[in-house]
Structure 1
């Protein structure tokens, strides 16, 4: 690694680190100012608040990594350009690709860091962050899917509830269907509601009815109330909305397989989280190339013009990411395409700007 490589790489990593250290405390202070009254009203313990802000730093920092990376590259590359250092490097006989090499090395380091954080560190931080948020900051608000819940427990058993109340641990219009090995319905259990009685570790069914199908006819059993045991937990019916964010690489794959077997209606939400994690390292390279191509040329407006353009591109990227993410979560749009399309679009933009910058 030459002197130029070390010089640019040092500036790359130092500027990125300083930007993180500057903006994350600002985010913490802004969040604390907004939420302090809720924490006091809900009597959040000090030790839990401290852990919350540690998780907040990791969770929010990981979300903002690409934007910080983009802006930091624009910032220090614009300074190099204004000081005519880039002109000196290229005038010495170095090609544009050679000049770009330390940037790609820096992007590789950040990409590996982003990958391991997204796959292993952030899930644990996300769990603590969201649990605190729904316990103290959004007390009483729903953090689960609560309507039209359908699950396949195993190869033979299927359950359905039209709605679920997490606070009361109660589901309404409950149905359980059991099929035999020939895929014929063996019996169906229905109830107007099902309630989990944690003290006794049993379920209470109201307006219970069981229809058992026999060759000679149908057997119907009814009871006003019935206490019974099922081989599922009440939380298995309605995983919290942020459940995919709390699982590491291997746990998320197993969770998606399980939810797919159960026929979960919101499976795209979980798959989208998985693909976004894999796409993060690619994003680091795309944004680095765009930032260099935009800021390497000396402009009349100086660094301000480059930063303004960078912020505009960052907002457009976030907009595309959110639009396609929402399409994947709330419609039949492919989660894979929802992740690929923004990266292809901005990858093409990166190549175009790089080609223009070379000229």
Structure 2
């Protein structure tokens, strides 16, 4: 590596990590100021609070990873441009593509960190962060969709409950329909169903089973019945943030299982899955945009570059969030929602890079 490469690469990584170290404490302070009332009201143990803010640090860093990177590259590249260092580099016969090489090496290093963070560290942090939120800060809100739950639990069985209580592991107005060769063979109904953890059975009240036969149906009724089913009530209504808490391998298996069950939240789960790979790609795109924008010495100095960079970053975040919500709440394809901002800003990066070379 040449001296120029080491110089830019060190500035790239150093500024990025300094940006993280500066903004994360600010984020923690603002978040603590907002939540301190609830924490004191619920008398949360100090050890749990410390673990929560450790999880929040990782969660916050992963969430704003591209934004921190983008601003840090604009910051130090603008300083190079204002000190006429960029002009000196290019005047020495170095092409703009060659000047860009250490930035791309730095982007590769950061993208590997982003990938490792998204695949392994962020899921654990997200679980701790969300569990704490719903336990202490949102105690009056359920993290599960517990109304009118309808799920396919295997190739033959479908179940329904009108309401579900995750803490009590019980549901109301339970129905199970069993099919063979696309024909219903029996149907079970009960006013309530509750999982008895002690002996791993289900207790059904006002149990009614209708077995469908060629010569007539057979009815079986009892006020209470203890039985076994091939499912877990907790699995029927996973918490809304479950996809964020799973490592990549488990997430893939979970999505495959939920697709077979006909989950209504499958788009939300796939958004998390696709973003694990789109984030590292966005690191390269935003790096190229930042260099192309800030490598030119402007009359307004660093302030103009930072203002322009912040506007681009906000637009990127806006597109990412808007399309994410659109995919989660409608039939909009999650793959398109996740990759559209990268494609759009990739085109912008190519345009800005072409003009910067000129």
Question: What TM-score does the superposition give when structure 1 sets the normalisation length?
Answer: 0.96
Aligned mates of 2:222, 2:312 — CA distance in 1 = 63
Deviation at 1:322, TM superposition (A): 1.0
Deviating runs (4+, > 6 A) in structure 1? Answer: none
Matches within 5 A, 1:17-56: 17-56=17-56
Q: In structure 2, how many angstroms separate the alpha carbons of the residues matched to 1:100 and 1:310? A: 18
Correspondence 1:196 to 2:190: no
Displacement after TM superposition at 1:198 (Å): 4.3
Q: Does 1:261 align with 2:260?
A: yes
Question: In the aligned structure 2, how far is the partner of 1:221 from the partner of 1:74?
Answer: 73
Counterpart in the other structure of 1:305: 304
How do residues 275-290 of structure 1 correspond to structure 2 at under 5 angstroms? 275-290=274-289
Which position in structure 2 is the counterpart of 1:240?
239
The CA RMSD measured in Å over matched residues stands at 1.5
Aligned counterparts of 2:84 and 2:37: Cα–Cα separation in 1: 51
Q: Distance in 2 between matches of 1:148 and 1:285?
A: 44
> Using the alignment, how far apart are the partners of 1:79 and 1:58 within structure 2?
29
Q: Does 1:335 align with 2:337?
A: no
Counterparts in 2 of 1:161-240, with a 5 A limit? 161-180=161-180, 182-198=181-197, 201-240=200-239
State the distance in 2 between where 1:60 and 1:237 align: 30
Structure-2 separation of matches of 1:163 and 1:330: 21
5+ unaligned residues in a row in structure 2: which ranges? none
1:45-86 deviation digits (Å, cap 9, x = unpaired): 111111111111111111111000000000000000000000
Q: In 1, distance between residues paired with 2:5 and 2:82?
A: 19
Pairing of 1:151-166 with structure 2 (within 5 A): 151-166=151-166
Could you say which residue in structure 2 is the equivalent of 1:98?
Answer: 98
**How far apart in 1 are the matches of 2:263 and 2:190?**
21
Residue in structure 1 matched with residue 63 of structure 2 by the alignment = 63
Q: Find the aligned partners of 1:209 and 1:111 in 2 and give their Cα distance.
A: 57
Note the alpha carbon deviations across 1:310-333, whole angstroms, 9 max, x for none.
111111111111111111111111
What displacement does 1:199 show?
Answer: 5.4
Whole-Å separation in 1 of the counterparts to 2:197 and 2:38: 29
- In the alignment, is the contact (CA less than 8 A) between 1:39 and 1:136 conserved in 2? yes
Alignment of 1:84-95 (within 5 A): 84-95=84-95
Aligned residues: 358
Matched with 1:140 is 140
8 A Cα contact 1:150 1:265, kept in partner: no
Deviates further, 216-225 or 257-266: 216-225
1:122 is matched with: 122
CA distance in 1, matches of 2:308, 2:174: 55
In the alignment, the residues of structure 2 paired with residue 37 and residue 199 of structure 1 have an alpha-carbon distance, to the nearest angstrom, of 38
TM-score (norm 2): 0.96
